[in-house]
Amino acid sequence: MGWNQNSITAMLDIKYPIFQAPMAGGMTTPQLISGVSNSGGLGNMGAGYMSSDEIRNDIKRIRNLTDKPFGVNLFVPDSEASADAEEISSMEDVLAGYSSELGMKEKPSLPEKNYAALYRKQLDVLMEEQVPVCSFTFGIPESAIISELKKQGTIIIGTATNVKEAVEWEEAGADVIIAQGVEAGGHRGTFGSEESGLIGSMALIPQVADAVSCPVAAAGGIMDSRGIAAAMMLGAAGVQLGTAFLTCRESGAHSLYKHALLNAREDQTAVTKAFSGKLARGIRNRFMEEMKGLQTLPYPLQNDMTAPIRKQAAKLEQPEFMSLWAGQGVTLAEEVTVKELMIKLVMGTETLLDK
Amino acid sequence: MGWNQNSITAMLDIKYPIFQAPMAGGMTTPQLISGVSNSGGLGNMGAGYMSSDEIRNDIKRIRNLTDKPFGVNLFVPDSEASADAEEISSMEDVLAGYSSELGMKEKPSLPEKNYAALYRKQLDVLMEEQVPVCSFTFGIPESAIISELKKQGTIIIGTATNVKEAVEWEEAGADVIIAQGVEAGGHRGTFGSEESGLIGSMALIPQVADAVSCPVAAAGGIMDSRGIAAAMMLGAAGVQLGTAFLTCRESGAHSLYKHALLNAREDQTAVTKAFSGKLARGIRNRFMEEMKGLQTLPYPLQNDMTAPIRKQAAKLEQPEFMSLWAGQGVTLAEEVTVKELMIKLVMGTETLLDK
């Protein structure tokens, strides 16, 4: 069996076991997602921050662009996330310096949101639309939700950052498990203790592959066919790439963000909780450096409180205050179309593995 | 060309491009080193903390056990490492709690050492003994030293933890460069800023391979033939394994340390400066946890000051105060002989790559 005929390609009915990572925040446009799926991979919507209406709209647009499978990713909310008035006001004070520097009239504050209700509405859309693939980050949904999705034929993908999380996902019924190495850009999918989810792909993939019997897709540091071939050697049946797709013409990344990705060195990223309250890897900038060591609010509170600052920074073209998520393979990012990238990945992997 | 006939095997005159990592602190016994070299790999002495006499003795013992090439690793001293009286006395106070808990009569204090002179003496032995291979960690020696070693036929191996360090090593004349991923157990070889040297192998290897023209050996997270095959796919010409050799019968690791390695989970390691003043990865224990966030003395001062505590802890069988260096692939460690391990690595890699 070749590298592209395995448990993952068969289960998902795709040609190549290459997933485009579901990067939240407007990165995964219908053009990017459909482009990946039309090229034989699996495009994924980073829907964590999207409203149910936005998700429904994008699903319709994707279906106009492709008849191939695609996935939608949701963030599993933490029902215990909370902060007291003092912590909130202290973070408001810290962030006020940035909002005033960016000329914003309104001071940072915490919007009132019912996160559980938003999540339930997101799930309802996925049920109504019978999405082919649904992936989850930051936790494992209740078993009733997984059963419901599976009953309608949706494939479930879980994100794990260590062996324990992978085993829990398998027990919960995941069809595929993403093993996310510490090299990955953006949020750590960790739902155990923070320090338990920082394992490099070279070590993580074989240990997860040994521990579960469902197929594993490797994420973290994979940027080209060399990474794909390596992941396969380590025991993965598929791969997930994020940063490599961010610099595609079809991605929704801000032009400044793309510019930062195309010019960053591999040693310039770090993990930070400054933007969202959860660890995520991005290109170091002033905001990350200055927030170092400060106690953040828990996710998603910190995320909601910094959102207006990041939005204004993007508007004013000030990358020093934007979240520039990037993986450690960032120097390998190229300005290409999604089709060009997919062809390069597939042909390169074939050369390395099917010789 | 097969995986075991490349620039590294040709240059070093070895059968397989597999290095046993030069782990300092009495781990790399002549039995371990000669066992690796006799099995076709490259055994390496972790001589960083050894006196010139100890090194000379061990070289003689190795040469009695094998006629194959082997390497010796030195730590390049940082001439600027210093601490003022206040910092030293504050660390003495912190460590006094541990020494008293361990029933030690003498309080921790800083021995007077001339690190530059010790290093010079170590180098003199390597010249006198005309060692086949010399590797360096924590920096690049002066060019005169590299020239001298090369003139007598010694192969030079440099340790890099990012692209910049690799390029500097190539410019300095390294014959082989170790790309040490963040998964690696023990000390980070970083000689740039601390935060610049924490890149996962999956991302580090291809970026280093692209940046230099000399052969690259991958280290960090490689525990079995899957890791070796993956490293080769990523562009490495060889590999270096540490943790996998620590649990070999021939290694000098304390039985408690071996026990800890054979029972640790992959998510239980972390990097710490607590033991030596330089970042190193080990199994989290009480000493690491309690020292978190405290300012340590610079390397090697912190190392010398904690050494008696670690020694006493080993004597009293108290692993909570020992440095339990381990990589993130630790669950794959097995109790084997070095010959058994080498056969397994070679046969597995052949199956994966030469099918």
| Arithmetic mean of pLDDT, A347-355 | 90
Which residues lie across from A103 on neighbouring strands?
Answer: none
Token pair of B330 as six digits: 């630790």
Interface of B with A in 174-193 (CB under 8 A): 181-183, 192
Minimum mean pLDDT range among A314-323, B110-119, B192-201, B276-285? B110-119
Tell me how far apart the alpha carbons of residues A283 and A186 are, in angstroms, rounded to a whole number. Answer: 10
Residue in chain B lying closest to A332 (CA): B207
Tell me how far apart the alpha carbons of residues A161 and A139 are, in angstroms, rounded to a whole number. Answer: 11
Chain B residues closer than 8 Å to A223 by CB = 203, 206
- Please tell me which of the candidates B162, B196, B227 has its beta carbon nearest to residue A202: B227
Domain with A205, as residue range(s), is 7-353
Output the CA–CA distances (angstroms, integers) from residue A236 to A139, A204, A231, A341, B128, in the order listed: 21, 10, 5, 21, 48
Torsion angle of alpha carbons A122, A123, A126, A128, nearest 10°? -100
Identify the pLDDT of residue A81: 84
Residue in chain A lying closest to B227 (CA): A234
* Residue at B215 is within a domain: yes
| Arithmetic mean of pLDDT, B247-269 | 97
DSSP B142-209: -HHHHHHHHHTT-EEEEEESSHHHHHHHHHHT-SEEEEE-TT-SEE----S-GGGG---HHHHHHHHH
Give yes or no for residue B1 having a pLDDT over 60: no
| Arithmetic mean of pLDDT, B262-279 | 98
List the beta strands (DSSP E) in B188-273: 216-219, 238-241, 269-272
Chain A residues closer than 8 Å to B266 by CB = 162-163, 199, 203-204, 207
* Residue at A258 is within a domain: yes
Residue in chain B lying closest to A331 (CA): B207
| Arithmetic mean of pLDDT, A281-309 | 96
CB of B200 less than 8 A from some CB of A: yes
| Arithmetic mean of pLDDT, A124-148 | 97
* Residue at B2 is within a domain: no
* Residue at A1 is within a domain: no
Identify the pLDDT of residue A355: 55
Max alpha carbon distance in chain A (Å)? 62
Tell me how far apart the alpha carbons of residues B215 and B177 are, in angstroms, rounded to a whole number. Answer: 6
| Arithmetic mean of pLDDT, A148-175 | 98
Identify the pLDDT of residue A276: 97
Report helix, strand or coil for A161. Answer: coil
* Residue at A85 is within a domain: yes
Q: pLDDT band for B158, please (50, 70, 90 cuts).
A: very high
CB of A167 less than 8 A from some CB of B: no
Q: What is the pLDDT of residues B73-119, one digit of tens each?
A: 999 998 888 899 999 999 999 999 999 999 999 989 998 889 999 99
Count how many Cα atoms sit within 13 Å of the Cα of residue A98 in the half-sphere of its side chain: 28
Angle at A271 between CA A268 and CA A275, to 5 degrees: 110
* Residue at A2 is within a domain: no
CB of B348 less than 8 A from some CB of A: no
Question: Which alpha helices (H) appear in A129-252, and where do they start and end?
Answer: 143-151, 163-172, 201-211, 225-233, 243-246
Residue in chain B lying closest to A183 (CA): B200
CATH code (residue B244): 3.20.20.70
Judge: A203–B226 Cβ closer than 8 Å, yes or no.
Answer: no
How many Cβ contacts (< 8 angstroms) between chains A and B? 146
Give yes or no for residue A1 having a pLDDT over 60: no
CB of B164 less than 8 A from some CB of A: yes
List the beta strands (DSSP E) in chain A: 18-20, 43-46, 70-75, 133-137, 155-160, 176-180, 186-187, 216-219, 238-241, 269-272, 280-283
Report ipTM for this prediction: 0.97
Judge: B329–A203 Cβ closer than 8 Å, yes or no.
Answer: yes
Give yes or no for residue B273 having a pLDDT over 70: yes
* Residue at A334 is within a domain: yes
Chain A residues closer than 8 Å to B196 by CB = 267
Contacts of A227 (CB under 8 A, 6+ apart): A221, A239, A241, A329, B202, B206, B234
CB of A46 less than 8 A from some CB of B: no
Which residues lie across from A271 on neighbouring strands?
Answer: A281
Q: Which residue do the tokens 């001062």 mark?
A: B301
- Please tell me which of the candidates B207, B234, B267 has its beta carbon nearest to residue A162: B267
**Distance in Å, alpha carbon of A296 to nearest chain B alpha carbon:** 17
| B235 neighbors B216 (Cβ within 8 angstroms) | yes
* Residue at A35 is within a domain: yes
The total number of structural domains in chain A stands at: 1
Q: What is the pLDDT of residues A48-98, one digit of tens each?
A: 999 999 999 999 999 999 999 999 999 999 888 889 999 999 999 999 999
Token pair of B185 as six digits: 């157990």
Amino acid identity for residue B32 in this structure: L
